[in-house]
Amino acid sequence: MFLSATTQQKYVDVYNAMLINQRAYENGLEDLNMAITANIEEFKHTAPRMPIGSLLDETDTRNRDGSITNVIGININKEFMPSVANLSTTDLTKYKIIQKKQFAASFMHVMRDEKVPFGLYHKDEPCIISPAYPVFQVKSDDVVAEYLILWINRAESDRYAWFISDSSVRGGLEMSRFYEIMIPLPAIEKQQAVVNFYNARHLIHKNIGTLGNMLKEICPILIKGSLEEASAQNS
C-alpha cells in the first residue's frame, strides 16, 4: 500500500505540531522554576522570619457521619494519592476530613526518607485521610497557603527537617520541632506574586500531562487515518 510523500508529511506535521507545543510548555516550566527559586532566595535573605507554628493551626474534623468515602494519602513526593490500604473493614468515621487549601503531613519516617511528606490539598471536593496524619490550615489572611507549601517543600527544608528528626528506629519528626521551623514571611503582595508563578507551574504540569496522553492516543489514530487515505488513493 503506497502513501504519497505529501500525505505522509501531512500526518507528520500534525504529530510534530503537538511535540512543539509540549516542548514549549516544558520550556515555560523551566522558566517558572527559575523565577520561583529566585524569589524564594530573595525572601530568605530579606524577609522577617516566623516559626511555622505561629502560622498554622492544626484541625481535627472527623468524618463522623461516614458521608465521605474518598480516602487519600500523601506520598514521599508530597503528592496526594488514592489510598492503597485495604479499607473493607476500616471505620471511616474516625478518619479526618481535609478541605481545599488545607495541609496534611506525615512526620513518622522523616529521617529514613530524608523528606517531609507535606502537601496542600487543591480540590473543591473534601476527602478523608488517616487519623495518623495531622491536618493544618493557615491562621490568617496574612499568609498565603501556596507560599507556605513552596517553602516547606524545598530540598533545603527537607534537609533541615531530617537534621532535627529524632534518632529512634522510625526517625520521626516531632510536631513541636516542626513548629519551630522558621519561615521568611514577606508582605502578602510578594507572597502572592510568587504564588502566581506556582499556580502557573501547576497548570503547565497539568497541560504537559494532557499533551503527553494526547500524543499516545493520537499515534494509532494518525496511522489508521494514513492507511485509510492510502487505501482510497490506491483504489
Of the two residues 117 and 211, the one the predictor is more confident about is: 117
Q: How far is CA 95 from the centre of its chain?
A: 22
Whole-number pLDDT of residue 15:
62
Whether 222 has a pLDDT exceeding 60, the answer reads no
Q: Spell out a b/e string for 86-106, using b for 16 or more CB atoms within 10 Å of the CB, else e.
A: eeeeeeeeebbbbeeebbbbb
**pLDDT tens sequence across 23-79:** 766 666 777 788 888 888 889 999 999 999 999 999 999 999 999 999 999 988 888
Mean pLDDT for the stretch of residues 113-118: 85
Whole-number pLDDT of residue 111:
77
**Which CATH number does the domain 51-178 belong to among 3.40.50.620, 3.90.220.20, 3.40.50.300, 1.10.3720.10?**
3.90.220.20
| Range in 6-10, 130-134, 179-183 the model is least confident about | 6-10
Q: Which residues of the chain are in CATH 1.10.287 domains?
A: 1-47+186-235
May I ask the CATH architecture of the domain 1-47+186-235? Orthogonal Bundle (1.10)
Most confident of the ranges 16-20, 43-47, 80-84: 43-47
Confidence category of residue 184, pLDDT binned at 50, 70, 90: very high
d(CA 137, CA 120): 9
Mean pLDDT for the stretch of residues 16-23: 65
Mean residue pLDDT across the chain: 81
Whether 219 has a pLDDT exceeding 80, the answer reads no
Q: Which residues of the chain are in CATH 3.90.220.20 domains?
A: 51-178
Mean pLDDT for the stretch of residues 6-27: 64
Whether 169 has a pLDDT exceeding 60, the answer reads no
